[in-house]
Structure 1
Amino acid sequence: MLLAFIGDIHGNLPALKEVLADAEMNKVEKIYHTGDLIGYGPYPNEVIELIRDKNIEGVLGNYDDGAANKKPTCGCDYKTAKEHEIGAKSLAFTVKSLLPENREYLKKLPNTIKFVIHGKNFLLFHGSPERLNEYLTPDLFPGRFNKLIEDYPDIDVFVFGHTHYPFYFLHQGRHFLNPGSLGKPKTKDPRAVYAQVEVTYDKLTVNFRPIPYPYDITAAAIRKKGLPEELAQIVSGNIPF
């Protein structure tokens, strides 16, 4: 069975459309998202509505939680005063823009999803099963990943987002996958990345797919809607954030 995992879309509708078109072209049978559908990008409602229309299952992200519940912060890890300023403006825009039905959709997203494909038990979450905003990064190997195996001994495949960096590895017979950010890169590659996963009873194969899309449309919409210029530069691949 061919699956697709997408995540950290962050209100980037043009990127999402191109990724879904690629998944359809490749005859993907099922798509899941790892959360953070909104934030920073100019199309929060349109992204949520497309995810709903396509019946794409997924989990709550820290930004989804912050915006849907009108929290004072998005649970994001800002390191400088400038990043805090950009984040505050983005959150204010997103909270103000969300339609009531889309806010309710986000509120109903689960923190985790478990499912079975060809005998393999999957666990899907955003940051970690315990915290929406925990960063599971390769530099935490092996300690933090050993703890996940210890805490969730029945899980074969852990799929998560939040870091915006795609990676995959096999450890102690368990698979760990982050599909990366579809809509807000933390590198200077502006393409929308996602993961295609072929699952059989014998093996699991991961293929990361960086997809070109018209990021200039997203950048122009960011400027038109009064969001910080830095966010337009980020989706254009000029600066990481």
Structure 2
Amino acid sequence: MCAGEWARYHLLVRLLLLSDIHANLAALEAVLGDAERQVYDRVVCLGDVLGYGPQPREVLARLRDLNARCILGNHDLWALQLARGANRQAQDNVVMQVLHWQLQRLSSADLNGLAAWPEVHDEELGGFTVRFRHGSPLSLLAYVSSLARAREAFAAWEGQVCFVGHTHLPGVYATVDAPPGEWVKHQSLSAGGRFLWAPRARLILNPGSVGQPRDGNPQASYGLFDIEQHTFEVFRVPYDVGFTQAALRSAGLPASLGARLAVGE
């Protein structure tokens, strides 16, 4: 979707949020099948489409079919750096080993599309500005993984709503007005569930990981954001983990990548 097309869709109110797919096609297809019953207006992917998994080209093609708006993740960035001859770390590093393998399976068109993804996107929706970024409101690489880090992010960023990924942990950090000033609370959505937000609250929302959950739940995770109803909902979806594990073995990729999928780590 080009910038003009993105702007023309600003009145639509239900966003399907995907993040950290990590080249896991079986998980992505399970999520998309489940999301069909939810009804949504468009798809936003918050980065890390590449890395760890055995189907990089297939996942990229599926996102193109969906006309998804994609934000650059750290694994996506590292893949681009490797393709340009930079950041060539030792291949005994599992992260880089997988990215080297994936690059051999991507076309120049795949890489050109990847290079067009922005690191951050801001958009006016429902009367306020929404930010989409992989790591935190202010950084592609930073993790919003604790109340302390959320407080730091809110203190340095003046926006109202930001969608992030990166931690692979679904949940919400929200500000609350109190007599001493703004304080921050956290609601985990690892089991799925809905968060109803007050219009004045500021939010950092994470839909969790489609392709490599890390919260002890191996089920794929995705989010739905309803601007009109002021809700953010996370759904957990079982998928054929064995299929992805077999594809990893066939590719000769490290066995640890398949083992962690079965336990959600």
Taking structure 1 as the reference length, what is the TM-score of the superposition? 0.86
SS of equivalent residue, structure 2 residue 172: strand
Residue by residue, what CA displacement relative to the aligned partner does 1:65-98 show, whole Å, maximum 9, x if unpaired? 1112314269xxxxxx9xx632232122122222
SS of equivalent residue, structure 1 residue 25: coil
Among candidates 45, 57, 63, match of residue 33 of structure 1: 45
1:207 maps to 233
Please tell me the residue identity of whatever aligns with 1:28.
Y
Give distance in 2, aligned partners of 1:88 and 1:30.
Answer: 32
Among candidates 67, 90, 93, match of residue 55 of structure 1: 67
Give distance in 2, aligned partners of 1:16 and 1:3.
Answer: 16
Among candidates 72, 76, 101, match of residue 87 of structure 2: 72
Please tell me the residue identity of whatever aligns with 1:157.
V
SS of equivalent residue, structure 2 residue 50: coil
Contact 2:26 2:244 in 1 (8 A): yes
Give distance in 2, aligned partners of 1:213 and 1:116.
Answer: 35
1:78 maps to none
Give distance in 1, aligned partners of 2:27 and 2:108.
Answer: 24
Please tell me the residue identity of whatever aligns with 1:205.
T
Give distance in 1, aligned partners of 2:76 and 2:33.
Answer: 24
Contact 1:7 1:37 in 2 (8 A): yes
1:191 maps to 219
Among candidates 161, 165, 169, match of residue 165 of structure 1: 169
SS of equivalent residue, structure 1 residue 69: helix
Unaligned runs of 5+ residues in structure 1 are 75-80
Aligned residue pair count: 226
Contact 1:15 1:214 in 2 (8 A): yes
Give distance in 2, aligned partners of 1:119 and 1:88.
Answer: 42
Please tell me the residue identity of whatever aligns with 1:16.
L
Larger radius of gyration: 2
Give distance in 2, aligned partners of 1:46 and 1:144.
Answer: 37
**1:210–1:142 CA distance, 2 compared to 1 (3 A):** closer
Residue by residue, what CA displacement relative to the aligned partner does 1:8-49 show, whole Å, maximum 9, x if unpaired? 000001111111122222111121110010111000011111
- Determine whether 1:22 maps to 2:34: yes
**What is the RMSD computed on CA atoms of the aligned residues?**
2.1
Unaligned runs of 5+ residues in structure 2 are 1-12, 177-200
Taking structure 2 as the reference length, what is the TM-score of the superposition? 0.79
Give distance in 1, aligned partners of 2:230 and 2:256.
Answer: 38
SS of equivalent residue, structure 1 residue 49: helix
Among candidates 118, 122, 145, match of residue 137 of structure 1: 145
Contact 2:15 2:42 in 1 (8 A): yes
Identity %: 31
**1:17–1:142 CA distance, 2 compared to 1 (3 A):** closer
Give distance in 2, aligned partners of 1:164 and 1:142.
Answer: 15
